[in-house]
Amino acid sequence: MNTVRVPSPLRDYTGGVARIGASGSTVAEILGHIEQQHRGMRFRMIDEQDRIRPHIRIFVNQREVRSLDEAVAPRDEIHLVCALSGG
Amino acid sequence: MTLNAAERERYSRHLLLPEIGAAGQERLKAARVLVIGAGGLGSPASLYLAAAGIGTLGIVDHDRVDLSNLQRQLLFDTASVGAGKAVAAQARLRALNGEINVVAHELELRAANALELLRQYDCIVDGSDRLTTRYLVNDACVLLRRPLVSAAIHRFEGQAMTYVPGQGPCYRCLFPQSSAGAAPSCAEAGVLGVLPGMLGALQATEAIKVVLGIGAPLVGRLMTYDALAMEWHEFRFRQRADCAVCGDVPSITTLADSEASCRSETTGQWPRYKPEELARQLRAAALEQRKAPLLVDVREQHEFATGHLPDSVNIPLADLGLRLEELPADCAVVFVCRTGRRSLAACDISSLGGLRSVADLEGGLIAWAAAIDPSLNVA
């Protein structure tokens, strides 16, 4: 099970929880597992063409994910980051 | 630009630092830094930059001080309420350090004036409260080759990055474009008052480093901060070859106001109901037993759960594009949100998606609670 860090704009889907667990060997599988647990959350991050939405970034540990096919190791931490606008 | 005796005393703790010293302090004195937004971020950033002796400090803001600002915007005090922010900030910063030149720019940053203004400064600190302004500022900095220290906040979280021309990626490389409803403002989402203190101080640190050419600025690095977990994280990101403004073949070669920004300021495009008008419509529909307009609340789920209008349905703005088919095309739809900002974006999205009769509640549920139903709990 990997740890996934959820940014506050998406926490409505996780009941306010900042860290959730999800399993998978690729980013796509992790996102699929997130969607099973928190319906509608994947669509906030991924568009209909399976592209990461332009105001969302996904990082595996410190590394930026550019493709959903990228591999995820068992202990990797997934960080979902959302563009914030407040000042 | 030499230091006088009072300045040598004032900046003595800087002069002791080998990384700054007299030469560095003179460099700060010669520097011109522009802070965009005298808000939560701009307050600590500009206070520290003024205290540090930035020779020319510009402050851009077209807003007025509101009582609700004082929970986090330390530039202002109770007596400032109602005053223009840029001018009030100028007075506070001048009082802090009379050795520097503080310039108040009481204007709204737009495509038509951004290049001319930013060109006058060596380094830009973005503390604006709107995504469209963030992109405008980023694009102007890339086009003018000016360093940009960017930060943003939301509830208990913040993020920051620095762009230095020729040295790394820009804000658009990180987030290529914004999305309606993706990032509610502080007024809509709430914010911990002390949060911008952390991020604004970080911005001042970065600006000083950039001006002095010392240390390792946040180039190609995104810092995120979570006040609840008390965690900082650092992420690496690269320049995008396809970046619209700093990529190999840029499509942005001059500034333009984003569509969303323009539309949000030309609110005559959709009917906007005042609370009294909407209440009258709903009453009349009930009395005459005809179909009332469908009320669609585009706030987040937790806001809706706190309190909402009777018979309204909840579709968060960010989901609206995908869930438009849930809205009957033959029915009049009235979008509502907290302040009337997200509901206006919802009018845009649904109209582009084919809905024929859309309107929204001007002033949002805050206005509704004030005019119609004080018992409505608005998150």
**pLDDT at residue B113, as a whole number:** 96
Strands in B358-361's sheet, in edge-to-edge order, are B272-273, B358-361, B333-336, B294-297, B313-314
Alpha carbons A78 and A61: distance in angstroms, whole number: 6
**pLDDT at residue B269, as a whole number:** 63
Pair (B245, B272) in one structural domain:
no
**CATH number (domain holding residue A71):** 3.10.20.30
Of the pLDDT bands very low, low, confident and very high (cuts 50, 70, 90), residue B265 is: very low
Tens digits of residue pLDDT in B179-234 = 655 666 667 778 999 999 999 999 999 999 999 999 999 999 999 999 999 999 99
Inter-chain touch A83–B152, beta carbons under 8 Å? yes
Pair (B97, B229) in one structural domain:
yes
Domain count, chain A: 1
Of the pLDDT bands very low, low, confident and very high (cuts 50, 70, 90), residue B267 is: very low
**pLDDT at residue B37, as a whole number:** 98
Alpha carbons B140 and B148: distance in angstroms, whole number: 10
Q: Are A33 and A25 in contact (CB under 8 A)?
A: no
Q: B123, B243, B337, B347: which is the annotated catalytic residue? A: B337
Q: Is the dihedral of CA B210, B216, B221, B222 positive or negative?
A: negative
CB of B157 within 8 Å of any CB in chain A?
Answer: yes
Tens digits of residue pLDDT in B159-193 = 999 999 999 999 999 999 876 556 666 677 789 99
> In the annotation, is B337 catalytic?
yes
Q: Which residues pair with B237 in a beta bridge?
A: none
**Which chain A residues contact residue B158 at CB under 8 A?**
84
Inter-chain touch B183–A8, beta carbons under 8 Å? no
Inter-chain touch A87–B153, beta carbons under 8 Å? yes
Q: Nearest Cβ partner of A64 from B37, B191, B237?
A: B237
Alpha carbons B149 and B159: distance in angstroms, whole number: 11
Q: Is A6 within the bounds of a domain? A: yes
Q: Name the stretches of chain A with pLDDT < 70.
A: none
Across residues B262-280, what is the average pLDDT? 69
Q: Is A69 within the bounds of a domain? A: yes
Tens digits of residue pLDDT in B289-309 = 788 889 999 999 889 999 999
Of the pLDDT bands very low, low, confident and very high (cuts 50, 70, 90), residue B262 is: very low
**pLDDT at residue B257, as a whole number:** 76
**CATH number (domain holding residue B57):** 3.40.50.720
Q: ipTM value of the model?
A: 0.94
Across residues B244-252, what is the average pLDDT? 94
Q: Is the pTM of this model over 0.90?
A: no
Tens digits of residue pLDDT in A37-61 = 999 899 889 988 899 999 999 999 9
Of the pLDDT bands very low, low, confident and very high (cuts 50, 70, 90), residue B156 is: very high
Alpha carbons B75 and B171: distance in angstroms, whole number: 27
> In the annotation, is B123 catalytic?
no
Please identify, among B258, B283, B311, the residue that sits at the C-terminal boundary of a domain.
B258
Name B266's Cβ contacts closer than 8 Å, sequence gap at least 6: none
Pair (B247, B270) in one structural domain:
no
**pLDDT at residue B42, as a whole number:** 98
Pair (B51, B152) in one structural domain:
yes
Which residue range(s) make up the domain with B344?
266-371
**Which chain B residues contact residue A82 at CB under 8 A?**
182-183
Q: Which residues pair with B235 in a beta bridge?
A: B222
